[in-house]
Amino acid sequence: MRWLIRRVTRKGKGNVAYEEDIHYGDVLSVGRGSDQAIFIPDLRVALEHARITAVGVGRYKIESLILAGIRVNGDITYATTAGPGAAVEIGTTRIQMLEPPADFDAGVEVSSIDKAEQKAVAEAAAKPTMLAQTWLARRGPAWLAFSLIAILFFAVPLGAHFSSSWRGTLPGLPIPSQDAWQSGKLQDAHHFFGSDCTQCHEKPFRWVRDEACAECHAATPAHADPVKFNLPELGNARCAHCHRDHNGADGLIVRDQILCSECHQGLKERTGGSSLLGNVSDFGLDHPQFKVDLPAWTADGKYAPVRTLLGTPGLQERSGLKFPHAAHVDPKGVKSPNGNKVLECDSCHRADAGGAGMQPVEFDTMCQECHALTFDVTEPERQVPHAKVPEIIFTLDEFYARRALEGGVRDVTSPAIVQQRRRPGQALTRQEQFEALAWAREKSRQVAETLFTGSACTVCHAVSPGREAGDPWRVAPVRVAGQWYGKASFTHASHTTMVCADCHDASTSKASADLLIPGIANCQQCHGGEHAKDKVPTTCIGCHGYHESDQLILAELQQRAKAAAQPPGVAP
């Protein structure tokens, strides 16, 4: 087998000299040994470093004879088969496989690697020794992260602000929507329009306007009349002064007492006496005694309760009823036609449907069993109706007219015609009828007088003679159950864990004039102010509302205030 060994030597700049040798044999040995076909005098080369075998035309088997291996086409290997063009690098020598030239079976070209190339190869082969030489970078990722955040969390939601179609599409995509801009959860009631921020945030970089709230909350009452109390700030207050959304499902109604207390200081002085409200800053520490709506009536019988400070000396309830609680709630019971009966509070005081207050006391079901309205011993089952004076008179008139006309009345003081028993079919003469009915009228009047002034009505009621004809008796109006705390919203429903006696001292009350409505000290046993640690923290809106005016609508007030602030002649 004929090998061509072409040696390339570089002499100076660009001068290249070729020297060709012929080698006979299958194997081309490479090494530092002097017996090697390709002799490389380099300490980095083993004596017998490698061998190259021609295995076919243009196919070369390259084997390393040492453990270090050899570098073929840049990779360390021990044995490989390669075609023309493959380069073996040993130390500073490169052996390149050739396409066998004419008249040769195989060929290699031996050249030395120049220093610049050696350095470049060494550098290329060297591994990075600093992070800056690796794929890691700071500038690129910084730009990328900046852009990603800016696009996903700013540009995209901003697009949704201006485009309703984006608003519709974005929530279905796995990228941030306008929700990403929400600083907190919306109030539950606002969820149904919450996907459209512009419902409230009408213009960018502008506060939410009250008009946006009034779109829905048009009928919300105002707090108080700014003109009457000379408090213009009542009309200027923005809705958002108190109501800030995006504070969670329950966050829109603020309960902080400072909201009220910053204004409810010195109100009497500031309003020039228009307001009668005392200073208040904390329910547990600084709250005036309660005022109650004490029952009272005008001269013409119209109910007109009087706001009265609890604890006023000589304070008496005027319910219009005579009722000693102590006698009725005696634990030993009271005598009734059906035996001894123990009465409880709820025998008479039943909560109304909403649970806030009590239903009115009912005579028929609660009192009449004992306090029967009988009027004639001969017919003890007959009773007059309750509470309807004309009907009582009619009932008595009719009852005694029947008795007189039927006859057989056992009353020695009555006329003979009334005492006479009638035979069936016996008719009375006009004169006899007249006489009998005259007795009946007189009897009815007597019995009515007894009922109204003696045996029945006056047991519980104050009765006075009527002032005009056809109105013989006047019974004082009664009010037992009702709203006592007219300016607060107390509810029994949230106090069902208590017993009645915890607040209402009925067991020792001997007269209905005793006011059994408790004052603030009673509430303060359990309720403290906002910062109470050992009591139920209770802020102003626990009992009071803000939007409580019964005449003024807030939205109108705000419009009025804005119109006043607008210079005249300028269209809003």
Binding residues (CB under 8 A) for another protein: these are 43-44, 46-48, 66-69, 76, 78, 125-132, 134-138, 141-150, 153-154, 157-158, 161, 176, 179-185, 197, 201, 204-208, 241-242, 244, 247-248, 251, 254, 256, 258-259
Shortest spacing between CB 480 and another protein, in angstroms: 42
Q: Which residue, 24 or 135, has its beta carbon nearer to another protein? A: 135
Question: What burial letters (b/e) apply to 62-72, b meaning 16+ CB within 10 Å?
Answer: bbbbeeeebbb
Considering the complex, what minimum distance in angstroms separates the CB of residue 507 from another protein? Answer: 44
Query: Cβ of residue 207: shortest distance to another protein, in angstroms?
Result: 5
Question: Tokens 């035996």 appear where?
Answer: 339
Of 144 and 327, CB closest to another protein:
144
First to last CA, the chain: 108
Q: Which is nearer to another protein, 186 or 294 (CB)?
A: 186
Question: Of all helices (H) and strands (E), which one includes residue 156?
Answer: helix 156-162
- Min CB(152)–another protein separation in Å: 9
Comparison of 203 and 335: residue with beta carbon closer to another protein: 203
Closest separation in Å from C-beta 266 to another protein: 21
User: Angle, nearest 10°, between helix axes 430-450 and 389-406?
Assistant: 140
User: What is the C-alpha separation between 213 and 205, in angstroms, rounded?
Assistant: 17
Q: Locate all alpha helices (DSSP H) within 266-388, ordered by sequence.
A: 267-270, 325-328, 363-366
- Three-state DSSP at 308 gives strand
Nearer to another protein, 178 or 509 (CB): 178
Minimal distance, residue 248 CB to another protein, in Å? 8
Nearest approach, Cβ of residue 511 and another protein (Å): 48
- 3-class SS of residue 80: strand
> Minimum distance from CB of 71 to another protein (Å)?
8
Phi-psi region of 280 (alpha: psi -120 to 50; beta: other; left: phi over 0): beta
* Residue 202 CB coordination number (10 Å): 13
Please answer whether residues 3 and 103 qualify as being in contact, where contact means their C-beta atoms are separated by less than 8 angstroms: no
Cβ closer to another protein: 67 or 116? 67
Q: Judged by CB, which is closer to another protein: 247, or 419?
A: 247
* Token pair 């969390």 in the structure block, residue: 153
Ramachandran region of residue 304, left (φ > 0), alpha (ψ -120 to 50) or beta? beta
Minimum CB separation of residue 290 from another protein in Å reads: 27
Number of H helices, E strands in the chain: 17, 20
How many residues would you count in the chain? 572
Contact 321, 328 (CB under 8 A): no
Q: Which is nearer to another protein, 179 or 435 (CB)?
A: 179
Q: Which two tokens mark 228?
A: 């009457």
CB of 91 or CB of 415, closer to another protein: 91
Token pair in block for residue 84: 């023309």
Q: Which strand (E) or helix (H) includes residue 394? A: helix 389-406
Give the H/E segment covering residue 488.
Answer: none
Task: Give the per-residue SS3 of 454-470.
Answer: HHCHHHHECEEEEEECC
Q: How wide is the angle at C-alpha 74 spanned by C-alphas 70 and 80, nearest 5°?
A: 50
Instruction: List the one residue out of 452, 491, 269 whose CA is nearest residue 358.
Output: 491
3-state helix, strand, coil in the chain (%, to 5): 30, 20, 50
Which DSSP letter does residue 281 get? S
- Within 13 Å, how many C-alpha atoms sit on residue 445's CB side? 9
Please report, for residues 152, 295, 402, 454, the alpha-carbon distance to residue 433 in angstroms, rounded to integers and kept in the order given.
Answer: 105, 49, 11, 30
- Cβ-based nearer residue to another protein, 134 or 525: 134
